């Protein structure tokens, strides 16, 4: 299967640059994967498609303000460091700019010297290991000095940082938001719970590899990025109980989907798990646990639209995307959503 098989034409003006005022007022394209029929709804209509005994699986990872703007020492040249993975002992794997000026031994200062850093190693592929020095608590320093690492296709400045967090975000560690969850409000979650819909949480720390384009002509040659994820015992128990009682497991976002499918047993049962996953889901994949998916609209030729196509079928997915373009849906991180059931 070729990468170009997942191309669709997207007018640039449909790429959402800012979040809408009310989270759950975003639009919702509901796709029945068996019939191929779709409906145009709003996200606050989601309860109409869920029933008592279903469970929603949410990714509670929280985005770090991981983009640091600093100056090289000496010289004062401007540079940028983007935190990717905590490697321990105040060392982070990072993306840096300008790469030519940020070789091993380079020194950087952020703020008024409140945070300093040194490049201690250069990794294959261009990432750097950066060791940070500071007083106090690193996350508090980062909260003061860091900016949200918005995707490269968003050019507008984000006025409220919490709009790039889900209302249930809890565990710090992501370099990008699990954006399907941005549509939920506390009130909508309570409404679902009152209907008998159960809520379970997993954690997958989203890496910037999620935005990496597929450069191989043949999709099976693509090297998938790795991300750290956790399935707590209570969530594993909830999924098992849901399946046993005939309910549906509905993942909110590709990250939740990839987490549970990574650790599901062949018979569809779940156990508490933690570790790194590089699962690549594309057409032909047999889902072990997931029954339905809530997701945003993804980039052409991306691993994410390939995952959606594995669930809904490539032709049906591309037809739904063509409909979304025709109807002027908003795309990508701050855009509208789909329910595939």
> How long is the chain?
341
Q: What is the mean pLDDT of the chain?
A: 95
What is the DSSP annotation of 249-307?
Answer: EEEESHHHHHHHHHH--TTS----EEEEE-----TT---SS--EEEEE---TT-HHHHH
Q: Residue with structure tokens 């003061």?
A: 144
Average confidence (pLDDT) over 161-180: 95
CA distance 63 to 205: 8
Specify the pLDDT at position 216: 93
- What sections of the chain are H helices per DSSP? 138-145, 186-194, 233-245, 254-263, 303-312, 314-326
φ, ψ (nearest 5 deg) of residue 21: -60, -45
Is residue 305 predicted with pLDDT exceeding 80?
Answer: yes
Average confidence (pLDDT) over 14-24: 96
Specify the pLDDT at position 153: 86
Could you tell me what percent of the chain has a pLDDT over 90? 89
Specify the pLDDT at position 211: 67
pLDDT digits (tens, 9 = 90+) for 173-218: 998 999 999 999 999 999 999 999 999 999 999 987 776 778 899 9
pLDDT digits (tens, 9 = 90+) for 77-107: 999 999 988 999 999 999 999 999 999 999 9
Give the global pTM: 0.93
The b/e string for 77-92 (b: 16+ C-beta within 10 A; e otherwise) is: eebbbbbbbbeeeebb
The pair of structure tokens assigned to 301 is 């030729």
CA-to-CA separations, 63 to 38, 115, 162, 164, 273, in angstroms, rounded: 32, 20, 9, 8, 22
Is residue 222 predicted with pLDDT exceeding 70?
Answer: yes
CA distance 263 to 275: 9
pLDDT digits (tens, 9 = 90+) for 277-292: 999 999 999 999 999 9
Average confidence (pLDDT) over 310-317: 98
Average confidence (pLDDT) over 38-51: 98
pLDDT digits (tens, 9 = 90+) for 236-295: 999 999 999 999 999 999 999 999 999 999 999 999 999 999 999 999 999 999 999 999
Is residue 152 predicted with pLDDT exceeding 90?
Answer: no
Could you tell me what percent of the chain has a pLDDT over 70? 99
């Amino acid at each position: 299967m070729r990468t170009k098989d997942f191309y669709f034409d997207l007018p640039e003006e449909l790429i959402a640059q800012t979040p809408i005022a009310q989270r759950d007022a975003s639009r919702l394209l509901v796709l029945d994967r068996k019939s191929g029929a779709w409906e145009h709804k709003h996200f606050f209509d989601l309860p109409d498609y869920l029933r008592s005994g279903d469970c929603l699986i949410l990714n509670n990872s929280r985005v770090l303000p991981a983009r640091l703007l600093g100056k090289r020492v000496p010289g004062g040249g401007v540079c940028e460091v983007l935190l990717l993975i905590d490697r321990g002992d105040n060392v982070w794997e990072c993306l840096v700019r300008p790469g030519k000026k940020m070789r091993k031994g380079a020194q950087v200062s952020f703020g008024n010297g409140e945070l300093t850093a040194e490049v201690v190693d250069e990794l294959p592929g261009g990432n750097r290991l950066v060791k940070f020095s500071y007083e106090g608590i690193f996350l508090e320093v980062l909260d003061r000095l860091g900016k949200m690492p918005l995707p490269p296709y968003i050019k507008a400045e984000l006025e409220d940082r919490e709009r790039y967090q889900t209302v249930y975000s809890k565990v710090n560690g992501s370099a990008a938001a699990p954006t399907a969850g941005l549509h939920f409000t506390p009130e909508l979650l309570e409404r679902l719970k009152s209907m008998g819909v159960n809520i379970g949480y997993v954690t997958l720390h989203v890496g910037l590899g999620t935005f990496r384009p597929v450069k191989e002509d043949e999709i099976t040659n693509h090297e998938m990025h790795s991300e750290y994820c956790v399935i707590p015992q209570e969530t594993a128990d909830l999924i098992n109980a849901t399946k046993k009682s005939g309910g549906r497991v509905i993942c909110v976002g590709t990250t939740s989907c990839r987490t549970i499918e990574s650790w599901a047993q062949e018979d569809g049962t779940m156990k508490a798990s933690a570790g790194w996953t590089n699962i690549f889901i594309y057409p032909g994949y047999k889902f072990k646990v997931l029954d339905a998916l809530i997701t945003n609209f993804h980039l052409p030729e991306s691993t994410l639209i390939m995952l959606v196509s594995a669930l809904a079928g490539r032709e049906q997915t591309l037809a739904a995307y063509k409909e979304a373009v025709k109807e002027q849906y908003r795309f990508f991180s701050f855009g509208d959503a789909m329910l595939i059931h």
